[in-house]
Amino acid sequence: MRAPAGQVLREAARDQHPGETFEKSLGRAVKNHQGTYQEYMDLIGKVRERARKDKTALGDAAKTLAAEL
C-alpha cells in the first residue's frame, strides 16, 4: 500500500457508510491506496483479533489499532 496501515484503518473507520460493514469500508480504503487483497486480509485479521480481545466493534478496534501502529 502507498499509505501506512494506521492511516488506512483510520480512513476505513471514518468513511464507513451507514448500513455498510466495516469489511467493505476497509476494502475500499485499501483499494484507494493501491493495496493488495493480501494486505486487506492481513489488516482485517488484525482488526478482528483486536475486536475479539477487547470485545468491541470492528470500527472501534480499528481506531484503537490505528493509534498503536
Q: What is the pLDDT of residues 33-46, one digit of tens each?
A: 999 999 999 999 99
User: Nine-digit cell at 14?
Assistant: 471514518
Backbone angles phi, psi at 29, to 5 degrees: -65, -45
Q: In the chain, what are the domain boundaries? A: 5-68
Cα 13 to chain centroid, rounded: 7
Q: Give the pLDDT of residue 36.
A: 96
Closest CA to 21 of 46, 44, 37, 54: 44
Residues of the chain with pLDDT under 70: none
Q: Give the pLDDT of residue 28.
A: 97
Q: Give the pLDDT of residue 7.
A: 95
